[in-house]
Amino acid sequence: MESLTQSSPHAHMQLHSAIPYSSTGSCRLCNTPLRRSVVDLGLSPLANSFIKPELQNAMEAFYPLHAFICEKCFLVQLSEFESPQSIFGDYIYFSSYSASWLQHAKTYVSRQVERFALDENSLVVEVASNDGYLLQYVQEAGIRSLGIEPAANVAEIAIAKGIPTEIAFFGAQTATRLKAAGYAADLMAANNVVAHVPDLHDFLEGFKILLAPEGVVTFEFPHLLRLIKEYQFDTIYHEHFSYISLLVIRRALSDHGLRVFDVEQLPTHGGSLRVYATHTENGRLKEAAAVDEICREESDFGLERLETYEKFSRSVVNIKCNLLQFLIDARRNGKVVAGYGAPAKGNTLLNYCGVGPELIPFTVDASPYKQNMLLPGTRIPVLSPEAIFERKPDFVLILPWNLKNEIVGTMAGIREWGGQFVVPIPDIEIF
């Protein structure tokens, strides 16, 4: 989030000879007119705009969910249909409800404290700090921290934990205000936020302003290479304005006087990058070989060739057909398919496929903030995980497939009545 988811899908189908042209404004990085489509997922509601049961018959806003690629700088992006204030002002995603994500945050903190010799005189600032899931470990290490989080309802959870948190969107203005108040960050963390920012230049300039002269900023974001290579189209949703490669973020940071000096590949969110950057003039931190290696991998795969995206678009249609075929066959055979999870990626998938309660009567989620709500668009009820064991469905469709191992471990009891798990992407997998 922005601040202060039968036939093989790889079958080659000659449905289109070229990526269709369209017009949807200009690139948010270089202002080139956007004309080349990556994938058109039709009309969809905001992926985290859950519906209260008493409003189940109310109207709901749907927006085009259509990704384009800039032919000049190769940023994959959506148009902005709704303001960040509307999306993130009152948010329903709380990071602390995923045990694996908490472990990820804890490991991150311990590694960076050691690598950059952070101590009680250091300051760690997290942008999009959510409910304090990461900064709690910074505080445990005896290091000063500051969170910047725009969603007041989420920030208040962190504040209640004793984690100093600014309720604001992050950009040049917020960074300038904090710098004037005496803040200079030795480490800045921006996990899963850069993709949620409509004004990338303003956002990146904020790091240039707030970072101490020898400070380090890390950005984590889903890797465009994994999205395209593994057909993860369900990670496209309105809250994600941009879909980023190392090649693109490296150039964008350079425009703001920041230099990428290291990068790590992570398993989170279906495959992410953690990019390390510092001020361009900070020569103390040498560039690691991994930077050029991943840039070369992206280039060799074809992330800056338009035909790569033509193949991706065709495969997305096949995945939709395969999922619908599975759900229809299950229903006709008298089988019940329940969902597990209510993530944004699941809402993209279900809305694109046109799946409602007739094929998936309910899903479950560990977050009490989502329970007893209805999924946006499809209006599938969200229940607590206990409902799986009460209703004993034949299949459990794992919507947050990036948490597959954690969920299979938690829900292993479905085997008692012969229940099976299903993962929809990149191929239908039943196990």
Kindly report each contact of residues 114-119 with a partner whose C-beta sits within 8 Å and lies 24 or more positions away, as own/partner: 116/186, 116/187, 116/216, 118/143, 118/186, 118/187, 119/143
DSSP assignment of 385-415 equals: THHHHHH--SEEEESSGGGHHHHHHHTGGGG
Strands 337-340 and 395-398 come out as: parallel
Query: Nearest 5°: CA angle at 78, between 77 and 80?
Result: 130
Is 198 inside a domain boundary?
A: yes
What gap in Å lies between CA 181 and CA 159, rounded to an integer? 19
Terminal-to-terminal C-alpha distance of the chain: 33
Rg (CA), the chain: 22
CA dihedral sign, ordered 135, 136, 141, 144: positive
Query: Residue 188 in 3-state DSSP?
Result: strand
Strands 165-166 and 144-148 come out as: parallel
Structure tokens, 81 = 């249909």
Task: State CA 314 to chain mean position distance.
Answer: 23
What gap in Å lies between CA 186 and CA 201, rounded to an integer? 21
In the numeric block, the tokens 């969920």 are attached to: 407
Q: What is the pLDDT of residue 1?
A: 34
Q: What is the pLDDT of residue 17?
A: 31
Helix (H), strand (E) at residue 299? helix 289-301
Going by C-alpha positions, the residue among 49, 37, 67, 23 that lies closest to residue 240 is: 67
Is 52 inside a domain boundary?
A: no
Q: What is the pLDDT of residue 90?
A: 55
Q: What is the pLDDT of residue 27?
A: 96
Is 160 inside a domain boundary?
A: yes
Is 39 inside a domain boundary?
A: no
Q: What is the pLDDT of residue 99?
A: 80
Number of domains in the chain: 1
Residues with Cβ within 8 Å of residue 310, at least 6 apart in sequence? 16, 18, 19
Helix (H), strand (E) at residue 127? strand 123-127
Q: Is the bond preceding residue 376 a cis peptide, omega within 30 degrees?
A: no
What gap in Å lies between CA 204 and CA 298, rounded to an integer? 22
Is 128 inside a domain boundary?
A: yes
Q: What is the pLDDT of residue 402?
A: 86
Is 414 inside a domain boundary?
A: no
Other residues' Cβ atoms within 10 Å of the Cβ of residue 96 = 18
Specify the DSSP class assigned to residue 53.
G
Residues with Cβ within 8 Å of residue 83, at least 6 apart in sequence? none
What gap in Å lies between CA 118 and CA 309, rounded to an integer? 42
The CATH number that applies at residue 155 is 3.40.50.150
Query: Residue 46 in 3-state DSSP?
Result: coil
What gap in Å lies between CA 362 and CA 391, rounded to an integer? 10
Structure tokens, 240 = 């994600």
Is 258 inside a domain boundary?
A: yes
pLDDT in tens, the chain (431 residues): 333 323 333 332 222 333 444 445 899 999 999 999 999 999 999 998 999 999 999 999 999 999 999 999 999 999 876 666 565 555 555 666 678 889 999 999 999 999 999 999 999 999 999 999 999 999 999 999 999 999 999 999 999 999 999 999 999 999 999 999 999 999 999 999 999 999 999 999 999 999 999 999 999 999 999 999 999 999 999 989 999 999 999 999 999 999 999 999 998 888 999 999 999 999 999 999 999 999 999 999 999 999 999 999 999 999 999 999 999 999 999 999 999 999 999 999 999 999 999 999 999 999 999 999 999 999 999 999 999 999 999 999 999 998 999 999 999 999 999 999 999 998 999 99
Helix (H), strand (E) at residue 349? helix 344-353
What gap in Å lies between CA 405 and CA 163, rounded to an integer? 31
Q: Which residues pair with 420 in a beta bridge?
A: 395
Q: What is the pLDDT of residue 268?
A: 83
Q: What is the pLDDT of residue 23?
A: 44
Other residues' Cβ atoms within 10 Å of the Cβ of residue 79 = 18
Is 122 inside a domain boundary?
A: yes
pTM of the model: 0.85
Structural domain range at position 269: 95-306
Q: Which residues pair with 340 in a beta bridge?
A: 364, 398
Q: What is the pLDDT of residue 75?
A: 98
